[in-house]
Structures are given as structure tokens and as C-alpha cells.
Amino acid sequence: MIRLTSSLLLAGLFSLGGWSHAALADEGPTGQVGAGVGYQPYDPSGSRYEVTPLPYVDLDWGNVSLSGDDGLTWDAFKANGFSIGPFANYVPGRDSNGSLRGLRDVPDMGVVGGFVEYAPADFWRLFAELGSAVGGGSGQGGLLGRLGGELGYPLGMGIIGRSNFTAHYADERQAQTFFGVSAQEAQDSGIRQYHAGGGFQNVTLTQSFAIPLGGNWSLMTSASWIHLVGSAADSSIVKQKGDSDQGQIQTAISYKF
């Protein structure tokens, strides 16, 4: 599940035409769409939590897909369970107010790059991606990556469970964007000066369930545990205002067509 703003951004990227018409099926998209709500960290440091409206999006159109976790992807090459291609996704920013007052704001950004996935069956997959953040302020942005796997399984009564484990990578510039504190920011915020380095930023374990409600309707739920590691966990923002162990809960009603 993703923020409302991210779905609008991805829909815009989709409509602007960075994808080949040959990748799209003539019969139109299939999948699930819906709406829900999430209780989740406001920013990567876990400085506070927020309740926010969320769309649920899981669509396929030929070799093009749009989902909350993976963003907009195009299987430019697909054979023997392997898929390789470009992707575009969304990175939510932060307004530095409340406990983060004195730090610089970070605008919402897009991220574009490439991915590789191995999914020989519908119920499990391994994936890796690397992309560059675009649209940030001066000195913001950098490289972002994900490495992980997902397993799906039936639980009876039509309920489908999915377990996902993902490690998130950020280079020095991207880590500094959310976890660094300059000398001026330290003076303005009271948070100790800190320079964040690149490397793995967090590991996330997500458990989700799809529960049929009748007809084409389903209840989608997920719970995640997010554990900051490395330079992110050592950030003075995390130690003074946030938490290295975070959680989020999301739920939505979706319609399959």
C-alpha cells in the first residue's frame, strides 16, 4: 500500500509515456484497486507516527505493472522466471516541524532505475533494484536500492498470506538527506551534528493477508516491522527524536476486475 500522493505521481509517470506501447496489452489493465488507511512512521527516523489515507493498487497491463511496493515497472525482458527492466517509484519527503524543527525540509521525490526479479511461480519471488532519486533539494537525492524476497501461501477459506523480507540500501547522499544533521541544523534544532554514510539503511519484514469479502471484494491488511541499521540507526536524529525499531499497520478494501 502507498500514500495517495505516490499513486498520483505514478499515474502521472504512466500517462506521460516513458513506456513502449508494445509493452501494453490491448485488452486493458487487470488487477485490484481500492482505498484504505495506514498508521505508520511520519519519516524514516520514526520521529512520530501518523494516520494517513492510502490507496491500494495492484495492476497489470501487458508487461507493465503498477503496485504499492514496486511502483511502476516494465518487464522489458522476461524468460524462464526472470524479469529485467526499468522502474519508477516515489519517495515521500518530510516537513521539518514539531520535534524535527530546525532541520531542513525534504520534498517528495521520484526514483527511477532498473530491477531484476526471479519469480518462477506466482507464489514466490526474489528481487533486486537500484535507482536514483530525482526532484530533491540542493544536496538531496542519491542512490536507493532494495534486495529481498516474498512468499505467498493459502491459509484456507480463500485467505492468502504473504511474507516479505526486504533490505533497503542508500548511498551517502541519500542517507545524509534524511539522517544527516549539518552544523547549522544542529544549532537550530538542538540535535547533535551527524554525517550519515552509505550502506544498508534498514531491514523490513512485512506480513500481509488478503481476505475475501464476497464477489470481487477483499480486505487487504499488512503489518511491518522496520529495523534501522548501520549509519541510519546511529543517526543523532534517531537517537534523540526517533526510534531504530518501527512498525506500521495498513488496511484497505479492494475490488478485483
List pLDDT tens digits, range 215-249: 999 999 999 999 999 999 999 999 999 999 999 99
Q: What span, in angstroms and rounded, lies between the C-alpha atoms of 143 and 91?
A: 12
Is 143 domain-assigned? yes
Q: What percent of the chain has pLDDT over 70?
A: 90
Helix, strand, or coil (residue 90): strand
pLDDT tens-digit series, residues 196-211: 999 999 999 999 999 9
Closest CA to 2 of 84, 66, 64, 61: 66
The type of residue at 212 is P
Q: State the residue range of the domain holding 188.
A: 4-17+33-256
- Predicted confidence at residue 10, as pLDDT, reads 46
Residue 146 CB coordination number (10 Å): 19
Query: Per the structure block, which three cell numbers stand in for 80?
Result: 524462464
What is the mean pLDDT of the segment spanning 125-139? 94
Is 28 domain-assigned? no
Q: What span, in angstroms and rounded, lies between the C-alpha atoms of 187 and 63?
A: 51
Domain containing residue 214: CATH number:
2.40.160.40
Is 25 domain-assigned? no
Q: What span, in angstroms and rounded, lies between the C-alpha atoms of 145 and 132?
A: 9
Q: What span, in angstroms and rounded, lies between the C-alpha atoms of 66 and 22?
A: 17
Is 203 domain-assigned? yes
Is 22 domain-assigned? no
Grid-cell match 544536496, residue found:
139
- Predicted confidence at residue 7, as pLDDT, reads 46
Rounding to the nearest 10 degrees, give the CA dihedral for residues 31, 34, 38, 44.
Answer: 50
Residue 12 CB coordination number (10 Å): 12
Statement: residue 2 has pLDDT above 80: no
Grid-cell match 531484476, residue found:
116
Is 27 domain-assigned? no
One DSSP character per residue, 172-231 reads: HHHHHHHH-B-HHHHHHH-PPPB----EEEEEEEEEEEEEEEETTEEEEEEEEEEEE-HH
- In the chain, the number of structural domains is 1
Is 72 domain-assigned? yes
Question: What are the C-alpha distances in Å from 83 to residues 120, 121, 126, 147, 210?
Answer: 10, 12, 10, 15, 25
- Predicted confidence at residue 25, as pLDDT, reads 57
User: What separation, in Å, do the N-terminal and C-terminal C-alpha atoms of the chain show?
Assistant: 18
Question: What are the C-alpha distances in Å from 207 to residues 80, 131, 132, 226, 248?
Answer: 27, 25, 28, 12, 11
Is 46 domain-assigned? yes
